[in-house]
Amino acid sequence: MSFLRLVGRPMLASMFVAGGLNSLRAPEQVAPVAEPVVQPVTERIDALPDRTEQVVRLNGAVQLVAGLLLGTGRLPRPAALAIAATLVPTTLAGHRFWEAEDPDERAQQRIHFLKNLSMLGGLLIAADDTAGAPSLAWRGRHAAHDLRREAHLVRRSVGATARPAAAVGGVRAKLAR
């Protein structure tokens, strides 16, 4: 693992570990803010708990576990995707700058909204990071390219040997007469 990944992943994960732990310990502090986002979602998705506190706790658990996985370099790509999935509702619930009437409050919430948007971008980059190893898509493309090249070489080789063989066969036929 490179030095940048060794240092950067825990730095990126630290906020989610701390935030997830806070949501697990005191979901009642976050639930009132999360209610406008959680309620419409829980009405549509039966698998989610009905109580906002439980959804906040579930969100916190995902952030905590995925943050620990990302920070320690274990399953970093799926962990980054899991955190990214939790960050969207967290941002929409916690930083609704468009609803703030006070200009100072609006400015602060907008800054936090954009900060979370930036972190979402970092998480998406982390989710795409293959740590220097080629991705499965890259390997597939290159394997297909290699197969096409090999098939072309085989066709050329068969064509090159078929012409002299055909000529030899024609000479033998003439000699046999």
Cβ(12)–Cβ(123) under 8 Å?
yes
Distance CA 103, CA 24 (A): 32
CA distances from 43 to 23, 40, 56, 61, 151 (A): 22, 5, 15, 21, 56
- Picking from 109, 118, 112, 96, the residue whose alpha carbon sits closest to that of residue 34 is 96
What digits encode the pLDDT tens for the residues 18-62? Answer: 999 999 999 999 899 898 888 888 888 888 888 889 999 999 999
Structural domain harbouring 80: 3-128
The residue ranking higher by pLDDT, 24 or 135, is 24
Q: Answer whether 0.85 is exceeded by the pTM.
A: no
Q: Are residues 161 and 115 in the same domain?
A: no
Distance CA 113, CA 107 (A): 10
User: Residue 155 — very low, low, confident or very high, per pLDDT cuts 50/70/90?
Assistant: confident
Q: Given this model, what pLDDT does residue 166 score?
A: 63
User: Residue 9 — very low, low, confident or very high, per pLDDT cuts 50/70/90?
Assistant: very high
Q: Are residues 50 and 95 in the same domain?
A: yes
Q: Are residues 124 and 139 in the same domain?
A: no
